[in-house]
Amino acid sequence: MAVDGSHLVQRQAPADATRAIHHGESFANETGTVMPPIFSTSTFAHGNAGGFDYTRSGNPNFRILERVLASVEHCNHATVFGSGVSAITAIVSGLSQGDLVICEENLYGCTVRLFEQVFAKFGVRTEWVDFTAPGACDILAARKPAMVWLESPTNPLLKVIDLKKVCAAAAAADVPVVVDNTFATALVQRPLQLGATLSLTSTTKYINGHSDALGGAVCTDDPSWHQKMVFAQKALGLQPSPFDCWLITRGIKTLPLRLKQQIANAAALAEHLAGHARVNWVRYPHRPDHPHRAVAMQQMNSGGAMVTIGVDASRDLAYQVCKALRWFTMAESLGGVESLICHPATMTHASVSTEVKTKLGISDGLIRLSVGCEDVSDLIDDLDQALGVLR
């Protein structure tokens, strides 16, 4: 019988590849179904054994996915949402007017937009800090924020924050820490075990892995934060659809397999590009030339599958390189089996001011690769051909 891991403790605890494939109760036991059905219903008969009432506040497909996510994250609770942005909204809805959130300065663009253009209107204040700077944690004891918001590795520069160190400093000041773990996933790093209160993921990316659904999730071992997440799911209408949960439940089954191939491809591409005459620099967390390699080696069990490079090119030329690729689609998003390429200066960070871009190190020649599952020699061949634009 499929398990969520918890009742296997007398035997050996299942490994992540097993956890990702086996969900618990399918809520259709009399059929022996291997895959759960899609519970496409808005409401449930009162007094049912599963305790369901209305899909905004829970659905079997949510619960199945939540169990798999909690199992893979090795934690007690996961709550699913309609997107990563919904998951962020759910967490911030647990704060109050006047609360201060200290954020890593290099957060995902839509997270920044939410804080600055939405939550600020409701009195949630933010301060932005480079958490890789020496002494950055001192601000926590001094400012006593209501929350710390981190992301690691960051987008697009793949900065690696010392999560254990920041979480320890936050714990000493009694401040909850959120880690957006979308780029790494629980298979590469486990924020809760490094001391975070909440681990947030856009399941749209690696977890689903097939670029055909949006979703978000928050994992935690803290019962009161779990209650807040369950409340936000129903009270704010942040719930996903049963169908998307079903797709993501199907997707996560192959996450360990996909990620293994993507990581191997990314490491090989990074190595190849580091020796390429047209490439000025390569950023990849486990490479010896990564500025935060020691921390990356400690908290990530691999370098992940994102690679960022710098080429000596104007904005137009860098754009042309991206457009000249055959196997990399130029698109936002990441984590799918298909390789994607992003030119932040014209895409994800187009609306960011030149000063901020310069401060964050986002130059016109910066290119971000989400490495997929294709044959690596085809990817290398394709990049070599496209970089020929710069000759």
At its nearest, how many Å lie between ligand PLP and the CB of residue 206? 10
79 phi, psi to nearest 5 deg:
-130, 130
Residue 176 DSSP one-character state: -
Is 63 noted as a catalytic residue in this protein?
Answer: no
At its nearest, how many Å lie between ligand PLP and the CB of residue 314? 27
Is 180 noted as a catalytic residue in this protein?
Answer: yes
d(CA 280, CA 274): 8
Spell out a b/e string for 31-66, using b for 16 or more CB atoms within 10 Å of the CB, else e: eeeeebebbeeeebeeeeeeebeebeebbbbbbbbb
Is 54 noted as a catalytic residue in this protein?
Answer: no
Query: What single-letter amino acid sits at 293?
Result: R
Question: Which among 56, 113, 125, 234 is annotated as catalytic?
Answer: 56
216 near ligand PLP, judged by CB under 6 A: yes
d(CA 335, CA 340): 8
Q: For residue 235, give both structure tokens.
A: 């009270």
Radius of gyration, CA atoms only, the chain: 21
Question: Which among 19, 67, 159, 205 is annotated as catalytic?
Answer: 205
Show the site string, 257-296: x = touches ligand PLP by CB under 6 A, - = not: ----------------------------------------
Residue whose CB is less far from ligand PLP, 84 or 256: 84
Q: Which of residues 144-163 bind ligand PLP (CB under 6 A)?
A: 151, 155
At its nearest, how many Å lie between ligand PLP and the CB of residue 84? 2
Q: Which of residues 168-207 bind ligand PLP (CB under 6 A)?
A: 180, 182-183, 202, 204-205
214 near ligand PLP, judged by CB under 6 A: yes
Question: Which among 4, 16, 162, 180 is annotated as catalytic?
Answer: 180
Q: In this structure, are residues 286 and 189 in contact, taking their beta carbons and an 8 Å threshold?
A: no
Residue whose CB is less far from ligand PLP, 312 or 332: 332
Spell out a b/e string for 170-194, using b for 16 or more CB atoms within 10 Å of the CB, else e: beeeebbbbbbbbbbbbbbbbbbbb
Residue whose CB is less far from ligand PLP, 204 or 299: 204
Q: Which of residues 309-338 bind ligand PLP (CB under 6 A)?
A: none
**83, 220, 239, 249: which one binds ligand PLP (CB under 6 A):** 83
Residue closest to ligand PLP when measured from CB atoms: 84
If you write DSSP's letter for every residue of 192-235 in order, what string do you get?
GGGT-SEEEEETTTTTT-SSS---EEEEES-HHHHHHHHHHHHH
Q: Spell out the residues 6+ positions from residue 80 whose beta carbon is closer than 8 angstroms to its own.
A: 62, 65, 66, 69, 203, 215, 216, 217, 233, 239, 240, 245, 248
Residues in the chain: 391
**8, 110, 317, 390: which one binds ligand PLP (CB under 6 A):** 110
Is 56 noted as a catalytic residue in this protein?
Answer: yes
218 near ligand PLP, judged by CB under 6 A: no
Per CB under 6 A, residues contacting ligand PLP are 83-85, 108, 110-111, 151, 155, 180, 182-183, 202, 204-205, 214, 216
Query: Which residues are known to be catalytic?
Result: 56, 108, 180, 205
